[in-house]
Amino acid sequence: MTRLIIISFLFSISFCYSQENISYQKPPKEILDLVDFERPPSVIFDDNKDYLVFLFSNNYKSIEELSDKELRLAGLRINPKTNIGSRVSFYNNIKIKSLKNDSGVVSQISGLPKNPKISNLNWSPDQNKIAFTNTTENGVNLWILDLNSARAKKVSELKLNANIGSVINWFSDSNSLLIKVIPEEKTELINSGSVVPVGPKVSTNFGEKAQNRTYQDLLKNKVDEYNFQQLVTSDLFIVSINGIAKKWLDSNMFTNISISPDGNYVMVTKINKPFSYLVTYRSFPTSVDVYSKDAKFISNLVNVPLIEELPKGFMSVRKGKRGFSWRSDKPSVLTYVVALDGGDPQKNSEYRDEIFEINAPYKGKGKSILKTINRFRGIDWGNSNFAIAYDYWWNTRNEKTYVFNPSTNKKPKIIFDRNYQDSYSDPGSFISERNKFNKNIIKINSGKAFLIGDGFSDSGQFPFIDEFDTKSFEKKRLYQSSYLDKYESIYDFDPISKELFVRIESSVDFPNYFFKTLYTNNLRKITSFESPFEKIKDAYKEVVKYKRSDGLELSGILYLPVNYDLKSKEKLPMILWAYPREFKDRKSAGQSTKNSNRFTYPYYGSMVYWITKGYAVLDDASFPIVGEDNIEPNDSFRNQLVDNAKAAIDAVDKLGFIDRKRVAVGGHSYGAFMVANLLSHSNLFAAGIARSGAYNRTLTPFGFQSEERSYWDAPDVYYSMSPFMHSDKMKTPLLLIHGEDDNNSGTYPMQSERYFNALKGLGATVRLVMLPKESHGYKSKESIFHVLWEQDKWLDKYVMNKEK
Active-site residues: which are they?
A: 669, 742, 776
Q: How far apart are the first and last CA of the chain?
A: 45
What b/e sequence results for 407-419 when a residue is b if at least 16 CB atoms lie within 10 Å of its CB, and e otherwise? eeeeebebebebb
Separation of alpha carbons 599 and 533, rounded Å: 10
Kindly list the distances between the CA atom of residue 152 and the CA atoms of 111, 144, 503, in Å, as whole numbers in the listed order: 5, 6, 28
Calculated CA dihedral for residues 705, 708, 713, 717, nearest 10 degrees: -30
Burial class (CB in 10 A: 0-12, 13-18, 19+), 197: exposed
Q: State the maximum Cα–Cα separation within the chain, in Å, rounded to a whole number.
A: 92
Q: Rg of the Cα trace of the chain?
A: 28
What is the C-alpha separation between 41 and 36, in angstroms, rounded? 15
By C-alpha distance, which of 149, 148, 120, 151 is closest to 134?
Answer: 120
Q: Contact at 8 Å (CB) between 703 and 213?
A: yes
How many CB atoms within 10 Å of residue 188? 7
Buried b (16+ CB within 10 A) or exposed e, 60-83: bbebebbeeebbbbbbbbbbbebb
Peptide bond preceding 274: is omega within 30 degrees of 0, i.e. cis? yes
Q: Where are the beta strands (DSSP E) in 57-92?
A: 71-73, 76-79, 84-85
Asked whether the beta carbons of 82 and 136 are under 8 A apart, the reply is yes
DSSP letter assigned to residue 699: G
Distance from C-alpha of 719 to C-alpha of 702, rounded to nearest angstrom: 14
d(CA 157, CA 160): 9
Which H or E run includes 267?
Answer: strand 265-271
Cα separation of 680 and 672, whole Å?
A: 12
Among residues 174, 181, 144, the alpha carbon closest in space to that of 159 is found at 181
Cβ–Cβ under 8 Å, residues 583 and 420: no
* Cα 621 to Cα 624: distance, rounded to the nearest angstrom: 9
Angle between helices 670-681 and 637-654 (to 10 degrees): 80
User: Is 57:94 a contact under the CB 8 Å cutoff?
Assistant: no
